[in-house]
């Protein structure tokens, strides 16, 4: 069992554009399947190799490769080499207010930097910007605060200038209160292993089935079936990595009708079968759970050297 990780993501202060940002260095192990309701993510591999499953595609990333992940895009990462490290920046979609069309979310597309294009200037700039945010955040010199404001303020302009932003509809505009939406999510987390239906949710919440279907998507950004499937996949990953359950038992215990359905859904999301994933993670180091991160101190000598190799601080600070 891993010791509890005591390092927290670094929170970057808002500098006037609601740039609610977190940055951190992460050690990649087994799949951690999740999605962000309102946050964009930029992740770069600092060392090693990893598979990123994202929005229905799976890509292999090596050192210096990166991905851009939009709000509500289900994604997971799996290390292919021991000691694989990444640097990640999250920023809230509130930062894009006024940049997308009314009623829309700013989209940067399904961008990835891999071995075929990792030396393109736009990816170099994006790596450098995130690295400089982290380096400025841990800097103790008198001008560090001004440097941090400068570098954190560059992230969105770099994306806007080099990643062809477009607008996509924002479906999250409804009348369910946050308390009601939270109650629905809690209900699904408690009953994902059962044959949950919209009728059961309607009975639980007191809402009409059609009304509930519409406003469930409004408040979560996903339709009922997709959200429930994501919860089931998250728990099935835990069973595959941490238990010796038979495949059929894992499928049934996590709400899938049979092993065939489970395998098809799993493969469509992770581009591998449940049995192949289990073979990959058996006998190797794993995180405490599928929800846990293993964060590194950015003062680690390798991390500092790597961030410095990306840095443009001398040009901007």
Q: pLDDT of 227-272, one tens digit each?
A: 889 889 989 988 998 899 999 999 999 999 999 999 999 998 888 8
- d(CA 160, CA 107) in angstroms, rounded, equals 10
Residue 65 has pLDDT above 50, yes or no: yes
Residue 272: predicted pLDDT: 86
Please give the mean pLDDT across all residues of the chain: 82
By three-state DSSP, how is residue 22 classified? strand
Average pLDDT over every residue of 140-169: 88
Residue with tokens 């003062």: 299
Three-class SS of residue 70? coil
Please answer whether residues 183 and 205 qualify as being in contact, where contact means their C-beta atoms are separated by less than 8 angstroms: yes
- In angstroms, the CA 86 to CA 51 distance is 12
Count of CB atoms situated within 10 Å of the CB of 190: 10
- Most confident stretch, 202-216, 245-259, 265-279, 300-314: 245-259
- Name the phi and psi angles at 91, rounded to 5: -140, 150
């Amino acid at each position: 069992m891993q010791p509890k990780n005591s390092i927290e993501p670094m929170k970057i202060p808002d500098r006037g554009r609601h740039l609610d940002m977190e940055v951190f260095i992460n050690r990649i192990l087994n799949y951690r399947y999740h999605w962000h309701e309102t946050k964009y993510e930029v992740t770069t591999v600092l060392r090693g190799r990893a598979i990123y499953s994202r929005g229905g595609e799976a890509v292999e990333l090596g050192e210096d490769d990166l991905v851009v992940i939009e709000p509500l895009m289900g994604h997971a990462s799996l290390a292919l080499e021991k000691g694989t490290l990444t640097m990640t920046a999250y920023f809230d979609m509130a930062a894009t207010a006024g940049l997308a069309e009314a009623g829309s979310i700013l989209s940067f597309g399904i961008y990835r930097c891999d071995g075929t294009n990792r030396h393109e200037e736009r990816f170099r700039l994006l790596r450098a910007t995130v690295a400089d945010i982290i380096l400025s955040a841990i800097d103790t010199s008198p001008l560090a605060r001004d440097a941090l404001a400068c570098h954190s303020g560059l992230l969105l302009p770099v994306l806007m200038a080099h990643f062809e932003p477009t607008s996509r509809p924002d479906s999250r505009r409804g009348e369910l209160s946050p308390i009601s939406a939270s109650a629905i999510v809690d209900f699904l987390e408690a009953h994902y292993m059962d044959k949950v239906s919209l009728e059961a949710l309607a009975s639980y919440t007191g809402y009409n089935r059609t009304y509930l279907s519409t406003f469930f998507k409004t408040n979560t950004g996903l339709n009922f079936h997709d959200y429930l499937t994501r919860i089931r996949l998250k728990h099935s990953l835990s069973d595959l990595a941490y238990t010796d359950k038979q495949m059929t038992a894992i499928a049934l215990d996590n709400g899938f009708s049979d092993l065939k359905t489970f395998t098809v859904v799993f493969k469509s999301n992770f581009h591998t079968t449940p049995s192949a994933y289990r073979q990959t993670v058996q006998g190797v180091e794993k995180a405490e759970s599928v929800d846990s991160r293993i964060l590194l101190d950015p003062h680690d000598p390798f991390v500092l050297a790597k961030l410095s190799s990306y840095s443009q601080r001398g040009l901007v600070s």
